[in-house]
Chains A and B, each alone.
Chain A
Amino acid sequence: MNWNLFNYPMNPPSASNFAAEHDALFYAIVGQALFFGLLTFALILWFAVKFKKGSKADRSSPQYENARMEFWWVLIPTLLGLATFFWSTKLFVDMRTPPKNAKEIFVVGKQWMWHVQHPDGVRENNTLHVPVDTDIKITMISQDVIHAFYIPAFRVQFMTVPGRYTQMWFRPTRVGKYHLFCNMYCGTQHSEMGGSVIVMSKRDYADWLAQHGQVRENLTAAQTGEKLFNKIGCGNCHGAQDLIPRGPSLRGLFGTTRETGDGRRWVADESYIRESIMRPAEKVTKGYGVTMPSYDKTFSEEDIMNLIAYIKAGAGQSIPTSTIAAAMPGIEVRDATGKAGLNSNEMQFKSERADATPTRRGKAPAVGALAVEKGDQQ
């Protein structure tokens, strides 16, 4: 065995903005638990010995109820519990509230791999590269069953649910390579649905993006979305302006409020757009009929994310690279070369999937199977 039996690491690495506060809370509760646990168990053992039948201890006037004492027994743990509750709630609310200008990365979970898509088109599987000291927001969904995206060193996890986007955010604080796990049982290869998160210095990250030609798709997410938009012919109904009676224009749609025929109002966020694509009859914008077909079986989750990226970026007009660059600070945006069209792109994705899917014990693990970049060894 190459693992030293006498080596007992006791802590996960701490590599995100949340780790320090999380650990402080953790150890505060450890302190509480040790205090109450040891005190109570010591009392139990001490009483058992001291008042052992036949011992000489004083037993005069035993008590069977003591309202005063029981009042304190209730009050003290309640107050401590409430204090812990408020602290942990503050931490949780922070964790659930991503900063406005965080860099957004999309993640799709599927049996049994993580597909990661950076906004400028770079993709990777089972590996997530992130620049240090940058707020990262992960928007994620599952293509089949429920998974959970878990990075212990960052103290974050959240489920990925089919049919619903979930989000989490963090700011990596230490360069290094950390575990990425699926933490929701999802079938046969659940334990191998993971890999690593690689935190790079900002400079290395930029280099990595630049060198990553092979896996990198030369289109931004929004541009891929646009191609798809045009290929499917969405514009036949959703024109650049509200001129076509069949469907509303999607230009500037994202973030606006839509009213349905029955007067209900909805914010056009990711989930709204996704639902409109998958089940268009559900929330029909006021003034339009149920004309749009469902694309439920047509698109992969990845396609829909690209379409959303396109709609976010404006839709209906070709997006100048500068617009996207402005929307994504810190990321070098390239022009579409047209060389890698949708079809070749899809083929590439399929072969990536084949490579990376772990099959049996003994074979190469899923870890980093796709992301064979050089700077892996930190």
Chain B
Amino acid sequence: MEHFHTNPELNYLTNGHSLRSWLLTEDHKRIAMLYLMSVTFFFFIGGLAAAGVRYELMSPAGNMMESETYNKLFTAHGTVMVFLFLLVAIPAVLGNFLLPLMIGARDLAFPRLNLLSWYLYMAAGTCITLAMLGGGADTGWTFYTPYSSMYSNSNVSLTLLGVFLGGFSSITTGMNFVVTTHKMRAPGMTWFRLPLFVWGHYATGVIMLLGTPVVAITLLCVIFERTFQLPIYSPELGGDPVLFQHMFWFYSHPAVYIMILPAFGVISEIMTAFSRKRVFGYHMIAFSSLAIAFLGFLVWGHHMFVSSQSMYQSVIFSLITFLLAVPSAIKVWNWTATMYKGNVVLSGPMIYGIGFQGLFLVGGLTGPFLASYGNDVHLSATYFVVAHFHYVMVGGSIMGFLAGLHFWWPKMTGRLYNDTIAKWNAMLVFVGFNLTFFPQFIVGWMGMPRRYHYYYFAPEFTPYHILSTMGSSILGIGFAVPAFYLIHSLFKGEKAGDNPWNAHGLEWNTSSPPPTENFRYKVIVTDDVYDYDPVAEHENDMLAAGGKA
């Protein structure tokens, strides 16, 4: 076996301590850690804005701020959460860290581009933050024209510039994932030995590559119209106001899959590892990721059923949207079936994973209400939509992110956290989440529009908002607690060892934390993906417990 050169005592964390060695690193694992810190920071900012919005809505006439401030707060919340957290969190942190490890590569295909993507991301975050500090933007994260291009007097251009830069960060990440998956797999790592996490990120990479340029152009055009009065979206200048919606959703619907496909990958890994059993329907899950990435580009019009798009367009978009629901449903059932006849270990990551499934189920099952556009005519743009996309995107991405972070934390840091606290916290998040967002389905069904500051004219909405705000406080605690026990584990946590969960996968074959080159030996893959043996394992358990085999 070929031996790599580094000192076996060193890993990617200890190999160089200077600030410079971090800021100029080309190691995908260090870049992932940079991302982890920045993503957490922006999540905190976005969370603060959310808290402001929620507390203001406790009372129907508001009592903390004026409408202008309120509008800027929800815009800040949406923009930061979508562009600086949801689109980035799992792919840039977990994907960056794990994708090369899982396929036995020493790094991503373009390490320097990877570093550039982090700088672009930070530039994006800086623009968006500066725009917020300089007074904020009030367009909502969807930036609908001509409000954003001609009417808003807020910091729209700077915010858009931020989103634009973030887009390039996304494109470079996507390119890295696609090329790495094609070109850098270790010998023996065939396509159908790829972990489902890699399939999920591969599909995500394709969407990032194909979709993001479109939104970049779309937003650039808004800047042009604002600055140079070019006639693009505003009818006053001779443009088309609905054009923006087509272009925006052409990216932004697939973008929700950028947020959720990586989470599917995480959950697939966790379900199989903690059921101690090969995932059920591996091929189905892999292909459904590709199907989602493909069909995701064909449904953007379901955001526009009540715009001026033609009735026939709506028919087609509705139909394809229903078809798109199917691959998502398949995944949930496959994960469920994975547990059947396994040896289920209810560890912290597993509880987060099961929580993910509960939330994603609610989110997915409320999709048909909006996809069937006879109903969408009433529900579109109400709190029902807010609840729906929070269940899928927030429930999906954040629960997936937390699950994955807990699962691979020992690999990333070499330390174990307190699993009991993690389990209880996962349940707290689940309860808080449902209390926050379920009432919003009802208040939306009753007709409350989204992005409303006041509702004194409709006091019947009040109790639901109070419930929701109470829930969000619980949820906030649920999001904060992991920061404490995870950081605590860095200093006081037990050493993790190479494979604390006794899981399959190349990443568990290297040390924790991994060395700079990922593996000390050249990797050759000989066994199948998820090669667990639940039956033998069960028999061993029985023997160990003193029973008969």
The reply to whether A150 and B241 contact each other, CB–CB distance below 8 Å, is no
A-B contact pairs, 30 of them (CB 8 A): A11-B446, A29-B375, A32-B368, A33-B366, A40-B361, A54-B343, A54-B542, A57-B341, A60-B341, A62-B534, A63-B280, A66-B281, A70-B281, A85-B322, A89-B318, A92-B314, A144-B151, A145-B241, A158-B306, A159-B306, A161-B241, A161-B307, A164-B308, A185-B140, A185-B144, A185-B147, A187-B71, A192-B67, A361-B66, A362-B61
Chain A binder among B255-263, B378-386, B421-429: B378-386
Residues in chain A near residue B308, CB distance under 8 A: 159, 161, 164, 166
| B357:A44 contact, CB within 8 angstroms | yes
Query: Does any Cβ of A come within 8 Å of B193's Cβ?
Result: no
Contact with B along A35-57 (1 / 0, CB 8 A): 01100110111011001111001
Chain A CB within 8 A of B354 CB: yes
Of A84, A192, A367, the contact of B372 (CB 8 Å cutoff) = A84
Given contacts A84-B368, A148-B306, A183-B381, list 19 more A-B pairs with CB under 8 A: A12-B446, A25-B374, A33-B365, A33-B368, A41-B357, A44-B354, A47-B339, A47-B342, A48-B344, A57-B341, A66-B281, A81-B323, A111-B151, A146-B241, A181-B449, A185-B147, A191-B454, A361-B62, A362-B61
CB distance from B168 to the nearest CB of A (A): 27
Q: Which residues of A contact B323 (CB under 8 A)?
A: 78, 81
Q: Separation in Å of the B535 CB from the closest CB of chain A? A: 6
Query: Does B506 belong to the interface (CB within 8 Å)?
Result: no
In angstroms, Cα B463 to Cα A235, docked, is 60
Task: Encode contact with B along A105-148: 1 for CB under 8 Å, 0 otherwise.
Answer: 00000010000000000000000000000000000000011101
Interface string of B441-463 (1 = CB under 8 A from A): 01001110111111111111011
Contacts of B332-388 to chain A: CB distance below 8 A: 332-333, 335-337, 339-346, 354, 357-358, 361-362, 365-366, 368-369, 371-375, 377-378, 380-382
Q: How far is the CB of A276 from chain B (nearest CB, A)?
A: 15
Q: 5 smallest A-B Cβ distances: which pairs? A: A152-B447, A163-B235, A88-B372, A91-B374, A88-B374
**Nearest chain A CB to B369's CB is how many angstroms away?**
5
Decide if A81 touches B326 in the complex (CB within 8 Å): yes
- Which one, A52, A162, A194, contacts B235 given CB within 8 A? A162
Contact A53 B318, CB 8 Å, known A33-B366, A95-B374:
no
From A53, A145, A156, B378 is in contact (CB under 8 Å) with A156
A288 contacts B by Cβ under 8 Å:
no
Could you tell me the distance in whole angstroms from the C-beta of B291 to the nearest C-beta in chain A? 11
User: What is the CA–CA distance of A137 and B165 in the complex, to the nearest angstrom?
Assistant: 45
A145-B146, A179-B447, A184-B144 as given contacts; A361 in contact with B454, CB under 8 Å: yes
Residue of B nearest to A362 (CB): B61
Nearest chain A CB to B17 CB, angstrom units: 41
Contact of A48 among B305, B333, B346 (CB under 8 A): B346
In the bound complex, residues from chain A placing their C-beta under 8 Å from that of B372 are 25, 29, 84-85, 87-89
Taking the complex as formed, is A190 at the interface, i.e. its CB lies under 8 A from any CB of chain B?
yes
Q: Give the distance to chain A from B227, nearest Cβ to Cβ, in Å.
A: 18
Q: Are A36 and B365 in contact (CB under 8 A)?
A: yes
Q: How far is B305's CA from A8's CA once the two chains are assembled, in angstroms?
A: 30
Tell me if B151 and A361 are in contact (CB < 8 A): no
A237-287 with Cβ < 8 A to chain B: 279
A57, B449: Cα distance in complex, Å? 50
Q: Indicate with 1 or 0, residue by residue over A157-178, a CB within 8 angstroms of chain B CB atoms.
A: 1110111101000000000000
| Cβ < 8 Å to A, chain B residues 475-525 | none
Are B362 and A37 in contact (CB-based, < 8 A)? Answer: yes
- Distance from A170 Cβ to chain B, minimum over Cβ atoms (Å): 11
- A70 cross-chain contacts in B, Cβ below 8 A: 281, 284, 330
CB-based nearest A residue for B340: A47
Contact between chains at A26 and B375 (CB < 8 Å): yes
Instruction: Tell me whether A22 is interfacial, beta carbon within 8 Å.
Output: yes
> With an 8 A cutoff between CB atoms, is A10 at the interface?
yes
B450: chain A residues at CB < 8 Å are: 183, 185
Assembly CA distance A179 to B455 (angstroms): 11
Q: Which parts of B135-149 form the interface with A (CB within 8 Å)?
A: 138-140, 142, 144-147
Which B positions have Cβ atoms within 8 angstroms of A? 61-62, 66-68, 71, 138-140, 142, 144-147, 150-152, 234-236, 238, 241-242, 275-284, 305-308, 311, 314-315, 318-319, 322-323, 325-326, 329-330, 332-333, 335-337, 339-346, 354, 357-358, 361-362, 365-366, 368-369, 371-375, 377-378, 380-382, 442, 445-447, 449-460, 462-464, 466, 534-535, 538, 541-542, 545
User: Is A59's beta carbon under 8 Å from chain B?
Assistant: yes
Contacting residues, chain B, for A163 (C-beta < 8 A): 235-236, 241
Q: CB distance A185 to B451 under 8 Å?
A: yes
Q: Fill in one digit per residue for A73-95: 1 if any B CB lies within 8 Å of its CB, else 0.
A: 11001100110110111111101
> Is A153 located at the chain interface by the 8 A CB criterion?
yes
Complex Cα spacing A269 to B24, Å: 63
Please name the residue on chain A nearest to B455 by beta carbon. A191
Min Cβ gap B314→A in Å is: 7
Q: Are B330 and A187 in contact (CB under 8 A)?
A: no
Q: Are B538 and A59 in contact (CB under 8 A)?
A: yes
Complex CA–CA separation, A162 to B145 (angstroms): 10
Complex alpha-carbon distance, A182 and B457, angstroms: 13
Q: Which of A4, A22, A52, A81 contacts B368 (CB 8 A)?
A: A81
**Option from A48, A59, A190, A194 in Cβ contact (under 8 Å) with B341:** A59
A365, B457: Cα distance in complex, Å: 8
Question: Which residues from chain A contact B67 at a C-beta distance below 8 Å?
Answer: 188-192, 361
A5 lies within 8 A of B466 (CB): yes
CA distance A108 to B174 in the complex (A): 45
Known: A64-B280, A183-B449, A187-B147. A48 touches B354 (CB 8 A): yes
- B339-A92 in contact (CB<8A): no
Q: How far is the CB of A362 from chain B (nearest CB, A)?
A: 8
Question: Closest Cβ of chain A: how far from B388's Cβ, in Å?
Answer: 11
State whether A9 touches B446 (Cβ < 8 A).
yes
Interface contact B151-A187, CB-CB below 8 Å: yes
Q: Is the CB of A65 within 8 A of B541?
A: no
Q: Using CB atoms, name the residue of chain B closest to A75.
A: B326
- List B contacts of A186 (CB < 8 A): 147
| Residue from B235, B330, B339, B373 whose CB has the most chain A CB atoms within 10 Å | B339
With known contacts A62-B535, A65-B281, A92–B377 Cβ distance under 8 A:
yes
Which of chain A's residues have a CB closer than 8 A to the CB of B146?
144-146, 162
- The answer to whether B71 touches A188 (Cβ under 8 A) is yes
Residues of B within 8 A of A12 (CB): 445-447
CB neighbours of B462 from chain A (8 A): 1, 3
A374 in the interface (beta carbon within 8 A): no
On whether the beta carbons of A52 and B241 are closer than 8 Å, the reply is: no
Quick check: B374 and A89 within 8 Å, CB to CB?
yes
Interface flag for A7 (CB, 8 Å): yes
C-alpha gap A62/B277 in the complex (Å): 9
Residue of B nearest to A89 (CB): B315
Q: How far, in Å, is A263 (CB) from chain B's closest CB?
A: 24
Decide if B339 touches A150 in the complex (CB within 8 Å). no
Contact of B325 (CB < 8 Å), options: A57, A77, A96, A145: A77
A339 adjacent to chain B (CB < 8 Å) = no
Residue in A96, A166, A194, A279 whose beta carbon sits within 8 Å of that of B457 in the complex: A194
Determine whether the beta carbon of A88 is less than 8 Å from that of B373.
yes
Q: Within the complex, which residue of A2, A45, A96 is in contact with B311, where a contact is CB–CB below 8 Å?
A: A96
Closest chain B residue, CB of each to CB of A84: B372
A41: chain B residues at CB < 8 Å are: 357-358, 361
**Bound complex: CA A45 to CA B361 (Å):** 13
Are A187 and B152 also in contact (CB < 8 A) when A25-B374, A41-B361 are?
yes
Cβ of A155 < 8 Å from any Cβ of B?
yes
| B345 surroundings in chain A (CB, below 8 A) | 52-53
With A and B bound together, what is the CA distance between A245 and B189 in angstroms? 80
Residue in chain B with minimal CB distance to A62: B341
Q: Which residues from A are CB-within-8-Å of B374?
A: 21-22, 25, 87-92, 95
Q: In the bound complex, how far is the Cα of B58 from the Cα of A105, in angstroms?
A: 37
Q: How far, in angstroms, from A43 to B336 measured CA to CA in the complex?
A: 7
Q: Please tell me which one of the listed residues B281, B369, B373 contacts residue A92 in the complex, with CB atoms under 8 A apart.
A: B373
Q: Knowing A144-B151, A162-B146, say if A81 contacts B447 (CB, 8 Å).
A: no
